[in-house]
Amino acid sequence: MDRLKKVLAERFVGDNFINEGLIVKKLLLAAACVAGFSVAPQAFANRDHIMVVGSSTVFPFSKVVAERFGRKTNFKAPKIEPTGTGGGFKEFCKGVGVAFPDVANASRRIKESEYKDCQANGVKDIVEVLIGYDGIVLANSIKAKPMTLSLKDIFLGLAKYVPSPDGKETLIENPYKTWKDVNPVLPATKIEVLGPPPTSGTRDAFVELAMEGGCKQFGWIKAMKKTDKSKYKALCHGVREDGAYVEAGENDNLIVRKLSENAQALGIFGFSFLDQNADKVQAAKVGGQAPTFESISDGSYVVSRPLYFYVKKAHVGVIPGIEEFLAEFTHDRAWGEEGYLTEKGLIPLSDAERAKVGASVKNLQSLSL
């Protein structure tokens, strides 16, 4: 290593990096590169707390774990920012060191493209933690009548382009103004749905599970998936932009408040927020099934998805408390069937799933896509 430092120093001096401080900085950067971005203590010297970004759905679960962790240990409570799943991965994957988050919460699994971004920026070893399940609900104010929607109703109500009502295999810009226009058995209320932006994992999961689920009920569109996959995805995942769908940001509590003020609107958010605000909002049945702890757990509620968080292995043992935070999150007192996270609306993993994930976390097993 001394020989390497000497060579590098000579090279930097040769390139006019005469200033001693600059030479030291260059040496540290080179050493970090040689070590695969794994050990560079100076990069972490000024941070004594865990930084968490990502999903607003996972936020309340992560927050309660962080608060308990801060109270019961000598470590500072992690700082958590609900940036949305996509926004969280963008920050998480920028690099290794004090300037970058240690943990990314996610209401969907990391995409291959995001994983590749991480790899390209030196975030080589990532630990994936599946924490439980959540249902995505369409809800309205308890002042209004509860809704019963099919996946087809949801697609026709919210898609940017829909099949022509004349039965021909052609697409038109969405003409529907009320839910009754979509389906004669539904009320003649204006289609107005408050939901998350494109950076949200809840939005990703909603369009994949609910809208695509309704889209592919049209046989000729379903067949398109084999002949033109990109067109199929654009059609089935495309959300209308004429005001019927209102992007309400990453703050699910804000959506709940707006629903209380507007009894005609529907809102999209995770089951945990429904559970915590049952005195204000009620869930629509989807496909004849209401979202409940049991229906999400057994999969009979079709708009359900897994929840995750991701950890930079390079930060473990350098940023104080990461291993201990992981241990708290994956302890039965937190994520178990009788754990305190279930009181917040988390649908727990099965015993076998928890054992498998717990072992992976304990061993800091790196994700491979």
pLDDT in tens, 13-52: 333 333 444 333 333 334 444 344 444 445 555 789 999 9
Terminal alpha carbon distance of the chain: 33
Residues of the chain with pLDDT under 50: 1-41
Q: What is the dihedral of CA 126, 127, 133, 138, to 10 degrees?
A: -20
Query: What pLDDT is attached to residue 43?
Result: 52
CA geometry: angle 253, 258, 260, nearest 5 deg: 100
Contacts of 185 (CB under 8 A, 6+ apart): none
Query: What pLDDT is attached to residue 45?
Result: 57
Query: What pLDDT is attached to residue 42?
Result: 52
**Contact at 8 Å (CB) between 190 and 178?**
yes
Which structure tokens are listed for 216? 């592919």
**Contact at 8 Å (CB) between 73 and 320?**
no
CATH superfamily entry for domain 135-305: Periplasmic binding protein-like II (3.40.190.10)
* Neighbour count for residue 337 (Cβ, 10 Å): 12
Query: What pLDDT is attached to residue 190?
Result: 97
Pairing of strands 171-173, 161-163: antiparallel
How many helices (H) and strands (E) in the chain?
A: 17, 13
- Whole-angstrom distance, CA of residue 119 vs CA of residue 36: 11
* Neighbour count for residue 60 (Cβ, 10 Å): 21
- Whole-angstrom distance, CA of residue 130 vs CA of residue 357: 7
Of 280, 295, 250, 243, the residue nearest 268 (C-alpha): 250
The CATH architecture assigned to 43-132+307-362 reads 3-Layer(aba) Sandwich (3.40)
Which structure tokens are listed for 323? 């291993």
